[in-house]
Amino acid sequence: MSRLVVVSNRVGPIKDSGRAGGLAVALVDTLKAMGGVWFGWSGEVSDEGTFGPLQQEKQRNVLLQQIDITPADYEEFYIGYANRTLWPVLHYRLDLADFDRRFEDGYRRVNERFAARLGPEIREDDIVWVHDYHFFGLGAQLRAMDVHNPIAFFLHVPFPAPEILAALPNADALVRRMLAYDLVGFQTERDASNFRRFIIEELQGEDLGGGRVKAVGRVVHARAYPIGIDAEAYSQAAYSPDARRHIARVEKLLDGRHQIIGVDRIDYSKGLPERFRAFERLLEDYPENRGLVSLMQVAPPSRSELDAYADIRRELEGLAGHINGRFADLDWTPIRFLTRSFPRRSLAGIYRASKVGLVTPLRDGMNLVAKEYIAAQRAEDPGVLVLSRFAGAAERMTEALIVNPHSSEEVAAALQTALTMPLEERRERWQAMFDRLCVEDAKAWANTLLKDLRAAV
């Protein structure tokens, strides 16, 4: 039987520690079922970098393989091209993008070095699956080393419209390198169609129909494979002792009041300042909520070495202080802004104790928080999801209250609708979304993509 070789920037953990994110869970299940290798960056920086030892650890039938990168790789590839160039461009933020030739060179170098280390590990029958924007060019580098195995690529973040991506210097070369993959998977139909349009409009390619495009003598399958979560397991996690403890903590704190919950890494793509302003607008436009409804925002810091991320944290602290100062009462705090993380099961409990899930990114590949919030709800008395139209999740979660996150007025109105929605309507909307999440789950995501890859080659 063929092994699966997964490549992603960060690797593992393979054990279900209760802390792993949705992506790790999906990949771990698939890796365990097929047996295989998970290859990526160790998270460490050393002088030898990619030339250093291959760090290997076997966990059950999965071999974890990791390598270091050098301080220059870290600056140019990781902080530079991945986080300061690609991340903003892919999230439609050309205003925040840093175009620096050194970053681009560092990115190419690291993709080449990762291929050089991975190539010799690949066996004849292996299937290779590369993940995310750190490794757009890895497939082409593997092909250059005469690796002829089936190789799939999946992009976890949006693939922007060609009009946006064309602003990235050498975007055409980057996308041309993606043609080395046999299959390229995206979160949404829109992303897949943006990619095909780029191939046709910018690379003079040809649309072969059925999601296939042809350019520079290569045919590639480009389709949507919306990532799922393990909805049933997540739903059960919301009944775990840890979750129950957190439900009790939140209920005690609320004392019969309602809570709106947001959970996001601190990142400008997540629309957090806009969200705080929309909550302020709710208190202005619907004053009956004053003293009765609060917003809890869980926001673990991420990429804090980047200025843009430090700025946004400061902005949020200022906004929360302003809104609390304006509206708080002796026994009521409007916004609770928690810049820390919680174990996965605790989070499931916090979701379940919250009447509204507020997920309003300005751009998001999918957004797993929207799915987790739904999975964590009680069937008898579920909460309501308010979801940005710019999250990939909105394409399939059509029973959520879909909003434009840039309009505080619209988000405030949706919050008011959510807070006053009759039980029967809440149950109908929730049931439709939960049923779909159980079918389109993490396993189905991986299985469908790998099945199409096999069919494609």
Catalytic residues: 156, 364
Binding status of residue 366 toward ligand GDG by CB under 6 A: yes
Q: Residue 185's closest CA among 160, 149, 221, 210?
A: 221
8-state DSSP, 335:
E
Q: CA dihedral defined by 240, 243, 249, 254, rounded to 10 degrees? A: -120
CB 304 within 8 A of CB 339: no
In degrees rounded to 5, what are phi and psi of residue 231? Answer: -65, -40
Q: Does 313 bind ligand GDG (CB under 6 A)?
A: no
Q: Check residue 25 for interaction with ligand GDG (CB under 6 A).
A: no
| Contact status, residue 383 vs residue 423, Cβ threshold 8 Å | no
In the set 7, 369, 403, 415, which binds ligand GDG (CB under 6 A)?
369
| Residue in 6, 7, 14, 23 binding ligand GDG, rule: CB under 6 A | 23
Contact positions with ligand GDG (CB under 6 A) in 262-291:
263, 265
How far apart are CB 105 and ligand GDG at their closest, in Å?
26
**Is 301 near ligand GDG (CB under 6 A)?**
no
Please identify which residue in 13, 21, 169, 321 interacts with ligand GDG, judged by CB under 6 A: 21
Q: Which is nearer to ligand GDG, 112 or 242 (CB)?
A: 242
Closer by beta carbon to ligand GDG, 71 or else 300? 300
The span from the CA of 317 to the CA of 273, in Å, is 10
Question: Does residue 227 belong to the site contacting ligand GDG (CB under 6 A)?
Answer: yes
Residue 230 interacting with ligand GDG (CB under 6 A): no
Q: How far is the CB of 357 from ligand GDG (least distance, A)?
A: 12
**Binding track, positions 132-161, relative to ligand GDG; x by CB under 6 A:** ------------------------xx----
Please give the residues from 193 up to 222 whose contact with ligand GDG meets the rule CB under 6 A.
Answer: none
Q: Determine how many CB atoms are found less than 10 A away from the CB of residue 321.
A: 12
Give the three-state DSSP class for 151: strand
Asked if residues 423 and 379 have their Cβ atoms less than 8 Å apart, the reply is: no
Cα–Cα distance measured from residue 453 to residue 171, given in angstroms and rounded to the nearest whole number: 25
Structure token digits, residue 28: 């771990």
The Cα 138–Cα 1 span in angstroms is 24
Which of 22, 137, 226, 334 is close enough to bind ligand GDG by CB under 6 A?
A: 22
Q: Which residues bind ligand GDG (CB under 6 A)?
A: 19, 21-23, 156-157, 227, 263, 265, 298, 300, 341-344, 347, 364-369, 372
